Amino acid sequence: MADLTIPEGGFWPAPEIPQPNIYPMEWRVETEKLAAIYEKSKRVVWNPADLPWDGLNPDDFTREQRLGIMYWFAVLANFDASGPAVFARATIQAFEKHEEDPVRKCFFSITRDEMNHEECCQRTIAKLWPGGPLDWTPSDDLESAAHNNIGWLYHNGGRYWNGYNSAVGKYSLPVLFTSFMMGEMAASTLFRGMASGTQHPVFSEMFQRIGRDESRHLQICMTILENEWPGLTDDTRTLITRQLRAGFVFLSMILWEPPEGFWELPPYFLANHRVLMDHAREAGLGVLSYEEQAENWRVAMARIRAIVERWGIAFPAIPELDLEGVPVDFIDPEDIIPVF
Ligand SMILES: [Fe+2]
Ligand SMILES: [Fe+2]
């Protein structure tokens, strides 16, 4: 074996690495519970390609129903298909800021799961409405209405993206995670409701599996917040109140109906949205009624209120659901932290 080379006067210290940077490498574990959730996430991983797709036959539906289902998944994709990119960026951020190892791994697992959820949108649409969401030519008024609404929806999706890219570096973990927590609460509520509402074997299994993933994401967010919340400042609390209102305004599009105050939509959007949602409902997708959706959303928001109020965070007023709180008026795209 060759001799070691030891310089005279000792080894030279490597230069300090400018931060933020993913280096130096380390695998610090501070929160065992997060490490355990990550282990669980690997064990329960599932493959959207293995859902019983042969049981999803376009001929079992009318054209209006197929369009309605495609429309619902196009709306869902505005949220779920942003998941991989949102959490991939959050994962990079967590590396650069040297969050403990289980935080980085949990973000990565959410990215993995969200990719599966996006694939469910993709596969369903490919099967029932080839070319959807937007790469097809409408042939009558109903189809034109669907195509046009989806275009407007994605216009709004596109408005928050730059905001998110700067927000992810600008906001502290508690702010980011309260928004993530709210999204996961919304998502787990939505899929639990849909799973109970659908009779179809493909959608039933899909929604149950996605719902389970979303509950795990919620658990991750809550565990991280329990670490972060004790150090909250009043400024952060105020910002979180605002973020909660922004989350409500944004997520209502898929959980219920879009409220005033953020969405840039043409005046006919909502009327046509209702017609298309009715077709999806009639097709047996499991879309709950307007009142059931409102009730589920109210219960989910009330749970979020109970959680944040424990930490001295004021809840925003949600007059749409008869929930009292601090008025937050204007929401701009920079306030939206997209999640699901
Ligand atoms: Fe998701
Ligand atoms: Fe999620």
226-255 per-position pLDDT tens digit? 998 888 899 999 989 998 999 999 999 999
Q: Which long-range contacts (CB under 8 A, 24 or more apart) does 304-313 make?
A: 304/181, 304/182, 304/185, 304/244, 307/181, 307/222, 308/178, 308/240, 308/244, 311/229, 311/230, 311/232, 311/237, 312/232, 312/237, 313/178, 313/232, 313/237, 313/240, 313/241, 313/244
Q: Does residue 147 lie in a domain region? A: yes
* pTM for the whole structure: 0.94
Could you tell me how far CA 236 lies from the centroid of its own chain? Answer: 22
DSSP code at position 316: B
> How far, in Å, from the CA of 214 to the mean position of ligand 1?
6
Mean pLDDT along residues 123-148: 98
State whether the Cα torsion 39-44-50-56 is positive or negative.
negative
- The domain of 213 spans 60-321
Mean pLDDT along residues 252-265: 93
User: What percent of the chain has pLDDT above 90?
Assistant: 82
CA separation for the pair 183, 214 (Å, rounded): 9
Mean pLDDT along residues 260-279: 96
Q: Does residue 14 lie in a domain region? A: no
Q: Does residue 102 lie in a domain region? A: yes
Token pair belonging to 135: 């790469």
Q: What is the CA radius of gyration of the chain?
A: 22
> How far, in Å, from the CA of 191 to the mean position of ligand 2?
11
Q: Does residue 50 lie in a domain region? A: no
Nearest Cα to 335, choosing from 154, 167, 88?
A: 167
Q: In this model, does residue 213 exceed pLDDT 90?
A: yes
Token pair belonging to 173: 């973990």
Confidence of residue 178 (pLDDT cuts 50, 70, 90): confident
Q: What are phi and psi of 48, to 5 degrees?
A: -55, -30
Q: Does residue 326 lie in a domain region? A: no
Confidence of residue 338 (pLDDT cuts 50, 70, 90): low
Q: Of the given ranges (142-146, 174-178, 189-193, 330-334), which has the lowest mean pLDDT? A: 330-334
Q: Does residue 336 lie in a domain region? A: no
> How far, in Å, from the CA of 340 to the mean position of ligand 1?
5
Q: Does residue 221 lie in a domain region? A: yes
> How far, in Å, from the CA of 244 to the mean position of ligand 1?
19
Mean pLDDT along residues 295-323: 94
- The chain-wide mean pLDDT, for the chain, equals 93
> How far, in Å, from the CA of 332 to the mean position of ligand 1?
24
Counting ligands in written order, which one lies closest to the CA of residue 217?
Answer: 2
User: 338 or 101: which carries more pLDDT confidence?
Assistant: 101
Looking at residue 228, its pLDDT comes to: 86
> How far, in Å, from the CA of 74 to the mean position of ligand 2?
17
Q: Which long-range contacts (CB under 8 A, 24 or more apart) does 269-274 make?
A: 269/149, 269/152, 272/145, 272/146, 272/148, 272/149, 273/149
Looking at residue 200, its pLDDT comes to: 96
Nearest Cα to 103, choosing from 186, 22, 221, 252?
A: 221
Token pair belonging to 56: 């999803």
* pLDDT digits 0-9 by tens, 68-102: 999 999 999 999 989 999 999 999 999 999 999 99
Counting ligands in written order, which one lies closest to the CA of residue 120?
Answer: 1
CATH number, position 251:
1.20.1260
Counting ligands in written order, which one lies closest to the CA of residue 183?
Answer: 2
> How far, in Å, from the CA of 47 to the mean position of ligand 1?
14
User: What is the count of structural domains for the chain?
Assistant: 1
Counting ligands in written order, which one lies closest to the CA of residue 218?
Answer: 2
